[in-house]
Amino acid sequence: MTAINAPRDKYNAVWIIFFILGLGTLLPWNFFMTATMYFTSRLKDSIDHPSNYTTNKTSEDGDGDEDTRNVLESKFNNVMTLCAMVPLLIFTCLNSFIHQRIPQKLRISGSLIVILVVFLLTAVLVKVDVAPLPFFTLTMIKIVCINSFGAILQGSLFGLAGILPASYTTPIMSGQGLAGAFAAFSMICALASGSALQDSAFGYFITACVVILLAIMSYIALPRMEFFQYYMESNTKKSHHMDLTKQLECAAEKQPVVSLTVDEPPPSVSVFGIFKQIWVMALSVCFIFTVTIGTFPAVTVEVKSTVADGGAWETYFIPVSCFLLFNMMDWAGRSLTAVCMWPGKDSIWLPVFVALRVVFIPLFMLCNVQPRHYLPVLFSHDAWYIIFMIFFSFSNGYLASLCMCFGPKKVSQHEAETAGAIMAFFLSLGLALGAAISFAFRAMV
């Protein structure tokens, strides 16, 4: 069978399913991060739990102001980042090696079900009073679960898309981009409506549950699609053909042959052998997200408007110009690869463009980031910040999507699923490296 004989993707049903699955991988976590203010507000309990607080007096006679700060609240973001990035990296790496031993259906459907249960529990806890320390512990356990199973889900999806034509990685990337944009838009709406933190958080978590349910139903429908069946069968037959070829070569050399029946699993592939073929794409996507997460939001969120003077624009400057604009342009960049895939997978220009994105680090540092101690402000006007953000976010989405599409296409079809899982690992590695160096970038300003 060849791609020429492949059936059509009727009504773009498979494309839409992969888009929904992409949305389902990141929308829950984006809503979780959007509700950070809700989580920290639940950790304030100075009367019942005074041991959770540290108090520093500004004067020895006791007349000075007291700086009372909740330890759990102050450490929440740092611990959350640690509990998110470490499991994400570990389980994405594990998925690259164990995906051949665990059925694809179990990895994807099982991960979606676990994430759904976690968000149902989170929604229920919004309405239940829990002491700060148990609430903090439960929240961190949930973050570990979401990112562990989310890593397996994301790696498995990219691996699955790698078996299909290159353009079918685009809907996953586009769905993930829309997840960020939707969460940012929801945050702005909640801010504009003046909704209580508890009500907004409950809405976030219920919406996430609905999206996950939709993703589960979409995945159940996927094997029924003729287009999807064709490529899965083609991948299996090519795997057996590759093994038969090796058997014939062994027979010609009078070496012992291990028989393979139709019912046996396809031959294993070498993870390191595949990496040698896709290392340019893998390192490129890693570098893209290292630059992006190293700068956004650690540096970009600290930029202050020089145009606004206490008005509405000052209130909405960061939510709109930073979060919403980034996610909208990132989504646009990811989606563009559905109609344009330039430069090609073997072009030198792709890694060159990826490397050039490093220029955004000093550009954002030289905007009006406050407070600052070392660097001057060269781009004080809000317009500079907005222009930089447009190119920064669009290039992130477009180049990352290109790399994720091209990676699995640089190897044989029976190796494409493993290549997709490896690409997902290097994407996660970029996120982790970016989160680590973001503290240094912010300290340099």
Annotated domain spans of the chain:
11-224, 269-445
Q: What is the pLDDT of residue 235?
A: 72
Q: How far apart are CA 442 and CA 367, in angstroms?
A: 12
Over the chain (445 residues), the average pLDDT of each successive run of 10 is: 70 94 90 84 61 43 44 79 87 83 90 95 92 91 93 90 88 92 88 84 91 95 91 71 48 48 53 91 96 90 83 85 92 92 91 96 94 92 95 96 92 86 91 88 89
Q: What is the pLDDT of residue 7?
A: 84
Q: Kindly report the length of the chain.
A: 445
Bond preceding residue 28 cis, omega within 30 of 0: no
Q: What is the pLDDT of residue 96?
A: 80
Contact 93, 436 (CB under 8 A): no
Token look-up 């006007």 returns 381
> Comparing C-alpha atoms, which of 277, 157, 168, 161 is closest to residue 215?
157
Q: How far apart are CA 287 and CA 340, in angstroms?
A: 22
Distance from chain centroid for Cα 236: 29
Q: What is the pLDDT of residue 55?
A: 41
Q: Count CB neighbours of 320 within 10 A.
A: 17
> Angle, to 10 degrees, between the axis of helix 132-163 and the axis of helix 170-193?
150
The residue ranges of DSSP E strands in 160-313, in sequence order, are: none
In order, the DSSP letters of 64-107 are: SPEEEEEHHHHHHHHHHHHHHHHHHHHHHHHHHHHTTTS-HHHH
Q: CATH 3.10.450: does it fit domain 269-445?
A: no
Q: What is the pLDDT of residue 268?
A: 58
Q: What is the pLDDT of residue 45?
A: 55
CATH annotation of 11-224: 1.20.1250.20
Question: For 237-261, b where at least 16 C-beta lie within 10 A, e where not — what string?
Answer: ebbbebbeeeeeeeeeeeeeeeebe
